[in-house]
C-alpha cells in the first residue's frame, strides 16, 4: 500500500497504475465497510463531478463518501489515498477525448486540429485538470491513448523525427495554456456570479475609469475595436482558431524546409 508520504519521497515511481490497485481490490473479499454497488468507477465519477462543481480545495475522502452515502473507510477498499483518486480522475477526463484513427485517409491537418480543439474543450470543461495534470505520471490507459494518438498524427505530417517533439509541444502546450486560461476565466466569472460577458464589461469599465490604466487601453484600442460586438466566447474561439492556424502553418513551413530528413 502506497501512502502519501511514500509518494512525496519518490514521486517518479508513485502511480496508482504501477501499484496494480485494481488487481488487489478484485482479490479482496467483501466486508462490512464495502457497500453493495460501490466500485472504483463510481468513486471516480463522483470525484470528477465534485471537482467540477466545488474545485480542488474542497475535495476530500469524507466529501466523496458523503456524496456516495457511504463511510469514508469504505473508499479504502478501492484507493489508498486521495492522490490515487486525483490521478484516476485525470485519466477519466482524458477518456472524454474522442480519439480517431489517423490512418483513416483524412489529412493530418484535420486530425491535428480536431485533437487540439478537443483537448482545449476538456480543459475548459474541467478547469481543475490543468492544475494537477503535471503532478502525476499520466500513464493510465486513456492518457496513453491520447499520447499515442498525438504521436501518430505528428508522424504523418512529414516532419523528421528530431522535429516532432517540438511540433507536439508547440500545438499541445499552446492548447493546454489556452484551455487553462479560458477554463479558469470561466471559473472566476461563475464564482463572481457573472456571465463571462458581464465580467468582461465590468472589468473594462474598471480599466477605463482608472487614469493610471488609460495608456494601457490606448495601446490595444484597435484590437478592442476589432472585437467590438462579439461575445467573450466568440473572441476565445476566434483567437484559438487563428493561433492554431499559425501552428499548422508553421509545421507546413518546417516540413518544406527540412523535408523528411532523419
* Same-fold call for 4-94 versus 108-258: no
pLDDT tens digits, 26-71: 444 445 556 667 999 999 999 999 999 999 999 999 999 999 999 9
Question: What is the architecture, at CATH level 2, of domain 108-258?
Answer: Orthogonal Bundle (1.10)
Q: Residue 261 pLDDT > 60, yes or no?
A: no
What is the average per-residue pLDDT within 226-247?
Answer: 96
Q: Residue 77 pLDDT > 70, yes or no?
A: yes
For the chain, the domains span 4-94, 108-258
Question: What is the architecture, at CATH level 2, of domain 4-94?
Answer: Orthogonal Bundle (1.10)
pLDDT tens digits, 83-98: 999 999 999 999 999 9
Q: Residue 229 pLDDT > 60, yes or no?
A: yes
Q: Residue 256 pLDDT > 50, yes or no?
A: yes
The distance in angstroms from the start CA to the end CA of the chain is 45
Neighbours of 13 (CB within 10 A): 12
Considering 18-22, 103-107, 151-155, the range whose residues carry the highest mean pLDDT is 151-155
Task: Give 178-183 contacts, CB < 8 A, sequence gap 24+.
Answer: 178/120, 178/239, 178/240, 178/243, 179/119, 179/120, 179/121, 179/122, 179/123, 179/124, 179/130, 180/123, 180/127, 180/130, 182/120, 182/123, 182/124, 182/236, 183/123, 183/124, 183/125, 183/126, 183/127, 183/130
pLDDT tens digits, 82-137: 999 999 999 999 999 999 887 778 899 999 999 999 999 999 999 999 999 999 99
Question: What confidence score (pLDDT) does residue 207 get?
Answer: 77
Question: What confidence score (pLDDT) does residue 55 get?
Answer: 95
Question: What confidence score (pLDDT) does residue 35 get?
Answer: 67
Amino acid at each position: 500500500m502506497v501512502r502519501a508520504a511514500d509518494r512525496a519521497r519518490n514521486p517518479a515511481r508513485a502511480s496508482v497504475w504501477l501499484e496494480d490497485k485494481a488487481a488487489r481490490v478484485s482479490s479482496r473479499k467483501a466486508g462490512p465497510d464495502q457497500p453493495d454497488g460501490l466500485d472504483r468507477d463510481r468513486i471516480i465519477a463522483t470525484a470528477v463531478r465534485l471537482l467540477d462543481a466545488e474545485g480542488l480545495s474542497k475535495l476530500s475522502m469524507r466529501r466523496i463518501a458523503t456524496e456516495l452515502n457511504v463511510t469514508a473507510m469504505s473508499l479504502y477498499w478501492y484507493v489508498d489515498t486521495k492522490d490515487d483518486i486525483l490521478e484516476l480522475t485525470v485519466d477519466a477526463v482524458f477518456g472524454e477525448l474522442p480519439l480517431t484513427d489517423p490512418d483513416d485517409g483524412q489529412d493530418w491537418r484535420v486530425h491535428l486540429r480536431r485533437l487540439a480543439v478537443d483537448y482545449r474543450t476538456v480543459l475548459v470543461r474541467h478547469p481543475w485538470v490543468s492544475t494537477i495534470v503535471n503532478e502525476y505520471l499520466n500513464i493510465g490507459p486513456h492518457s496513453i491513448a491520447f499520447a499515442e494518438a498525438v504521436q501518430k498524427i505528428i508522424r504523418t505530417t512529414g516532419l523528421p523525427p528530431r522535429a516532432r517533439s517540438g511540433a507536439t509541444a508547440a500545438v499541445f502546450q499552446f492548447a493546454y495554456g489556452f484551455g487553462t486560461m479560458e477554463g479558469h476565466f470561466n471559473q472566476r466569472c461563475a464564482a463572481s456570479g457573472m456571465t463571462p460577458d458581464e465580467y468582461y464589461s465590468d472589468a473594462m469599465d474598471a480599466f477605463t475609469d482608472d487614469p493610471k490604466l488609460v495608456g494601457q487601453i490606448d495601446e490595444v484600442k484597435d484590437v478592442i475595436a476589432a472585437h467590438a460586438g462579439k461575445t467573450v466566447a466568440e473572441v476565445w474561439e476566434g483567437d484559438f482558431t487563428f493561433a492554431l492556424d499559425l501552428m499548422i502553418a508553421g509545421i507546413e513551413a518546417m516540413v518544406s524546409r527540412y523535408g523528411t530528413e532523419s
